[in-house]
């Protein structure tokens, strides 16, 4: 006789069938049946200190398998909404499973605990798909549809809601179901367009390639750049898709003048896996003088530059393979390699005294950590410098909340990355303002025994906004909060701490932190004279 399962347990079984092996969340009264299922499964549960931490940890986790969150309705879901919106903005695969209140018997809301006016409608604006199970038989199809959406086209969060009463009902079964969806575009359907792209790139004398966060085929992209002699720029999300020392690599320099100029003055620009959003360039949209060619899985992303000479919705690996087959080898010109080297060098030249301090600390960090270390950066001035200048040669090694640009991302994202890849070093690069958003997650890192390095750049407030207020002759209101003693706070959670007084000391403390079984908070005060050097 088959084992009787509740719908909550059945959903966990379905997740196991889809190879989910970790869930982030805080249990509540409304999600008890999900946790009954977890207790009987092989899925690991990670409890953050706050639901927003669960979302950012799931974001950091999701380098292949999606990050999964279990949340209560109302406050649990809303606490995670920022992280869900961030994942949507930056194309992160995330599955959110939440409870939802049972419908009121007379159709009129009765003010039940955790009740939202329309939870499903709230989530539709933050996800690629949001569905609610009405009867037990809905579950297999909903789960299958979610995983289809996560694995086809542009990755974005998806959401399933189960009413509390339904979660406790006996399930009809948890056999897998398959959604009926059209397949994605195939390279064979795009032959004429690919031939046109090959002709444009083959004729170019100053070609540039821009690689975005959607590029998961870096070696093929580099092979194409070598074939046509193109300089390679990456967006911030694309950092690490090309080896830092490759002679054609110009860096993640679209936010500085020399990088923008390199792209705008090219006679052909091939953009792979990027919508070229305002957050990719910071100052103004790129204005291309040459032929713009765009390949992307997402139709909406391709519409962001309607002036493109050619915009093709296609899987990037197939597109690059086709182009390599169409383009003959030619003698590479040194012109674009020289331009790339100049761009790369200038991106690491400090424009201000503050950037010089950032660069000294960042270079010490780079020298102290393994080549494949993972850095999760927050919205902080030191990270703005790192976005351009920090050397990164491995994919999925640099993480930054580009799109939504939310503070508090770095620490929980680094925790998620370290859980997903325990063999790699994990660093959270943060400022004092953003750190305080999610500092409680130090407790999670201590509980799990994670040797995460938290590099905390302390400028005693919201430095970027304070500087802008000063530049506009606005009184600095709300940007100079009273900070705690960060090292005392970290030790209260059980962390190790350090406050180095030299570059040599900074490298020594980072290396020591990586050998521990606990997180270490290393504070760098912006006013430290030792940073000038």
Are 25 and 60 found together in one domain? yes
The CATH number for 116's domain is: 3.40.50.970
pLDDT tier for residue 2 given thresholds of 50, 70 and 90: low
DSSP state letter for 50:
S
In this prediction, residues 502-519 reach a mean pLDDT of 97
523 pLDDT more than 80: yes
Same domain, 59 and 96: yes
* C-beta atoms surrounding 320 within 10 Å: 24
Reply yes or no on whether the pLDDT at 280 is more than 90: no
Residue 231 is assigned to a structural domain of this protein: yes
| pLDDT at site 87 | 95
pLDDT at position 172: 67
Q: Tens of pLDDT along 344-397?
A: 999 989 989 999 999 999 999 999 999 999 999 999 999 999 999 999 989 889
Is the pLDDT higher at 103 or at 191?
Answer: 191
Poorest-pLDDT segment among 108-112, 398-402, 439-443, 468-472:
108-112
Asked which of 120, 137, 168 is the last residue of a domain, the reply is 168
- Asked whether the predicted pLDDT for residue 514 surpasses 60, the reply is yes
CATH number at residue 275: 3.40.50.1220
Structural domain ending residue among the three candidates 281, 312, 346: 346
Band the pLDDT of 158: cuts 50, 70, 90. Answer: very high
In a domain, 146, yes or no: yes
Same domain, 337 and 353: no
Assigned token pair, 241: 């898709």
Nearest-angstrom CA–CA distance, 124 and 156: 12
The answer to whether residues 124 and 62 touch, using CB atoms and an 8 Å cutoff, is no
pLDDT-based confidence at 276, cuts 50/70/90? confident
Residue 177 lies in a domain: no
Answer yes or no: do 314 and 352 share one domain: no
Q: What is the pLDDT of residue 178?
A: 54
> 495: how many CB neighbours lie within 10 A of its CB?
21
Same domain? For 299 and 404 the reply is no
* pLDDT class of 108 with cuts at 50, 70, 90: low
- Of 105-119, 128-142, 216-230, 248-262, minimum mean pLDDT range: 105-119
For the range 301-309, what are the long-range contacts, defined as Cβ-Cβ under 8 Å and sequence gap of 24 or more? 301/154, 301/274, 301/275, 302/275, 304/275, 304/276, 304/277, 305/271, 305/276, 309/200
Claim to verify: residue 355 and residue 458 sit in the same structural domain? yes
- In this predicted structure, what is the pLDDT of residue 180? 46
In this structure, the answer to whether residues 151 and 215 fall within a common structural domain is no
416 and 327: one domain? no
Q: What is the pLDDT of residue 182?
A: 45
Residue 182 covered by a domain: no
pLDDT on residue 257:
92
Mean of per-residue pLDDT scores for the chain? 90
The number of domains in the chain is 3
Q: Which residues pair with 520 in a beta bridge?
A: 453, 496
Residues 520 and 389 reside in one and the same domain: yes
Domain boundary among 328, 346, 364: 346
The reply to whether 352 and 500 lie within a common domain is yes
158 against 170, higher pLDDT:
158
Is 74 inside any structural domain?
Answer: yes
What is the Cα gyration radius of the chain? Answer: 24
Strand order in the sheet with 453-458: 398-399, 374-377, 426-431, 453-458, 520-525, 496-498
Is 104 domain-assigned? yes
Buried-exposed string 339-376: b where 16+ CB fall within 10 A, e elsewhere? bbbebbebbbeeeeebbebbbbbbbbbbebbeebbbbb
Residues 378 and 396 in one domain: yes
130: enclosing H helix or E strand: strand 129-133
pLDDT of residue 195: 93
Whether the per-residue pLDDT at 102 is higher than 70: the answer is: no
Kindly report, residue by residue over 284-342, the tens digit of the pLDDT. Answer: 788 999 999 999 988 888 888 778 899 999 989 999 999 999 998 877 678 999 999 99
Flag whether 2 is in a domain. no
Any domain includes 436? yes
Residue 277: predicted pLDDT: 81
For the full predicted model, state whether its pTM sits above 0.75.
yes
User: Is residue 39's pLDDT more than 80?
Assistant: yes
Q: Are residues 311 and 363 in the same domain?
A: no
Domain with 358, as residue range(s), is 348-531
């Amino acid at each position: 006789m088959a084992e009787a399962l509740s719908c909550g347990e059945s959903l966990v079984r379905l997740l196991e069938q889809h190879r989910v092996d970790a869930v982030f969340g805080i249990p509540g009264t409304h999600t008890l049946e999900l946790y009954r299922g977890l207790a009987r499964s092989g899925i690991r549960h990670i409890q953050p200190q706050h639901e927003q931490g669960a979302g950012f940890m799931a974001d950091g986790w999701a380098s292949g398998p999606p990050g999964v969150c279990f949340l209560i309705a109302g406050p649990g879901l809303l606490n995670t909404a920022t992280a869900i919106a961030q994942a949507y903005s930056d194309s992160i695969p995330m599955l959110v499973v939440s409870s939802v209140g049972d419908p009121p018997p007379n159709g009129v809301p009765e003010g039940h605990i955790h009740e939202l006016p329309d939870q499903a409608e709230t989530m539709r604006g933050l996800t690629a798909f949001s569905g609610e199970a009405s009867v037990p038989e809905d579950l297999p199809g909903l789960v299958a549809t979610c995983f289809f959406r996560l694995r086809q086209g542009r990755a974005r969060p998806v959401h399933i809601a189960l009413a509390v009463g339904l979660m406790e009902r006996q399930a009809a079964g948890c056999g897998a179901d398959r959604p009926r969806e059209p397949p994605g575009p195939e390279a064979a359907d795009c032959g004429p367009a690919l031939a046109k792209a090959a002709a444009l790139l083959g004729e170019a004398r100053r070609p540039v390639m821009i690689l975005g966060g959607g590029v998961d085929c870096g070696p093929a992209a580099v092979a194409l750049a070598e074939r046509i002699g193109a300089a390679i720029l990456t967006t911030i999300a694309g950092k690490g898709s090309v080896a830092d020392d490759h002679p054609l690599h110009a860096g993640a320099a679209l936010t500085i003048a020399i990088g923008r100029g390199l792209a705008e003055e090219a006679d052909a620009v091939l953009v792979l896996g990027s919508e070229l959003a305002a957050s990719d360039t910071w100052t103004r949209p790129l204005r291309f003088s040459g032929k713009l060619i765009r390949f992307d899985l997402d139709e909406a992303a391709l519409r962001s530059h309607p002036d493109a000479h050619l915009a093709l919705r296609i899987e990037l690996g197939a597109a690059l393979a086709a182009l390599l087959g169409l383009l003959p080898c030619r003698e590479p010109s040194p012109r674009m390699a020289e331009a790339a080297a100049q761009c790369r060098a200038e991106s690491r030249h400090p424009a201000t005294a503050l950037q010089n301090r950032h660069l000294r600390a960042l270079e010490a960090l780079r020298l102290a950590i393994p080549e494949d270390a993972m850095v999760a950066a927050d919205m902080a001035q030191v990270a703005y410098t790192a976005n351009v200048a920090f050397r990164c040669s491995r994919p999925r090694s640099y993480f930054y909340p580009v799109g939504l640009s939310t503070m508090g991302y770095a620490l929980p994202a680094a925790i998620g990355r370290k859980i997903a890849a325990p063999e790699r070093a994990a660093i959270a690069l943060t400022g004092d303002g953003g750190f305080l958003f999610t500092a409680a997650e130090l407790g999670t890192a201590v509980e799990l025994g994670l040797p995460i390095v938290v590099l905390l750049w302390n400028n005693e407030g919201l430095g970027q906004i304070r500087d802008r207020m000063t530049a506009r002759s606005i009184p600095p209101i709300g940007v100079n909060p009273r900070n705690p003693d960060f090292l005392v706070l970290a030790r209260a959670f059980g962390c190790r701490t350090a406050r180095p007084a030299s570059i040599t000391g900074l490298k020594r403390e980072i290396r020591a932190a990586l050998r521990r079984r606990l997180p270490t908070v290393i504070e760098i005060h912006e006013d430290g004279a030792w940073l000038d050097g």
